[in-house]
Amino acid sequence: MKKLAVTSIGGLLVVACLVWLFRSRSGNSGNTEAGRTTDGEFDIPPSLVCRMYQAHNAARDSRLNGGQPLDVEELFGLMGCGITNAEAIAAQPRGEMRFCDDCLTDDKRRELWPFDVESFESALEAKMVRDEEGLFRKKAGSDGSAAAGDEGLVASNPTIRWVNNEIEQWAVARLDEKYTRLDDAALRKAAGNDAFPEGWLVWMLADKDVAREFFVIARGDGAWNPRYYIDLICDDNGMSIIASFDSFPNRREAAAMRLFGGDIAATHNLAVLEWRHRSFRLGMDPQRIKRWLEEAKRLSVPTAESNLKVLLDHIPESAMSEASQTKATGG
């Protein structure tokens, strides 16, 4: 397995490349509780970075095509999967998928992920305002890290770079307090694999008899200086990326990430996060989403069937099957 550089080419971010490097799990969800319910109110709130990226997408669509949608994140993912009519699909309206209740208490989520990401993000957001296009811009003089324009605000791209840097520094400090950080040699030894790219920051979250769980922070290139926050599992079957976020995950995101494979709600909610471009933002794989939702439906997660309909109404199963066949034959 060859090494992969951390940076991306032409704006195609590192996560899209990582999808090709590691296999994806279909999910062996040990919790088969069928009685999960949802009242439509359970949510996994998006990160500050996610909302900033979404604001840029909306402003771009408004400026370039009069507000006509083109889901660029979906376009990259479908092209990477070999779907031939990716652009036509990405230009069509898409339904929204619903999360299911993870049935966890706040104390349990805190045990799984002892980091108050939401409070830190709120402090960062308090230093910003929204301009007339809805873009996030840092207030002048809030920390002096970037020059302000005539209107007394930092431009949007430098603001995003500032946020990405602040979150990374905070996340590294918190992870170092709680978990063991591994250098490249220790990582390769612990993972039993020499294919990891250089330059990753990696922590060991769990070392169990059957699998080892790692958390990775990787840096990408581009105007936003993006970061990627990746959870991966190494076991006898190889390496699997479970989730890849654009920001340090909040507790509800992290609960889905850390319980994947042992709790069907986690599998289901990771599928929804991927559909919403919150995980694998430029590497969305409709076949993976379909597998995870089908497993959730089989185990009676109440929102899984309607979410499957959203997926197949937007991306016909024939398109996914054709892409899978193309990948299998190397065409």
Cα–Cα distance, 191 to 178 (Å, whole number): 20
- For residue 30, pLDDT over 70 is answered with no
Domain range annotation of the chain:
24-33+45-104+264-325, 114-178, 179-248
More confident residue, 167 or 25: 167
Q: What pLDDT, on a 0 to 100 scale, did the predictor assign at position 326?
A: 58
Distances, alpha carbon 213 to alpha carbons 62, 210, 238, 241, 304, in Å:
42, 10, 12, 10, 27
Determine contact, residues 113/251, Cβ cutoff 8 Å: yes
How many whole angstroms separate alpha carbon 83 and alpha carbon 102?
Answer: 32
Q: State the first-to-last Cα distance of the chain, in angstroms, to the nearest integer.
A: 21
Q: Look up residue 130 and give its two tokens.
A: 């929204």
Give residue 80's Cα distance to chain centre. 16
pLDDT value of residue 27:
42
- Average pLDDT for the chain: 83
Is the pLDDT at 56 greater than 70, yes or no? yes
Cβ neighbours of residue 286 closer than 8 Å, sequence gap 6 or more: 77, 78, 81, 83, 311, 315, 320
Amino acid at residue number 210: V
Sheet with 201-207: strands ordered across? 180-182, 201-207, 211-219, 227-235, 238-245
- pLDDT tens column, 129-144: 999 999 999 997 655 4
Per-residue pLDDT of 311-320, as tens digits, reads 999 998 777 7
Q: Is 60 exceeded by the pLDDT of residue 17?
A: no
CB proximity list for 16: less than 8 A, separation 6 or greater: 8, 76, 77, 80, 282, 283
More confident residue, 121 or 189: 121
pLDDT bucket at 75, cuts 50 / 70 / 90:
very high
Q: What is the pLDDT of residue 327?
A: 61
Map residue 324 onto helix, strand or coil.
Answer: helix
* pLDDT-wise least confident of 36-45, 150-159, 161-170: 36-45
The pLDDT of residue 305 = 97
- 3-state SS, 160-198, equals HHHHHHHHHHHHHHHHHHHCEEECHHHHHHHHCCCCCCC
pLDDT computed for residue 15 by the predictor? 42
Q: What is the pLDDT of residue 195?
A: 64
pLDDT at 168 over 60: yes
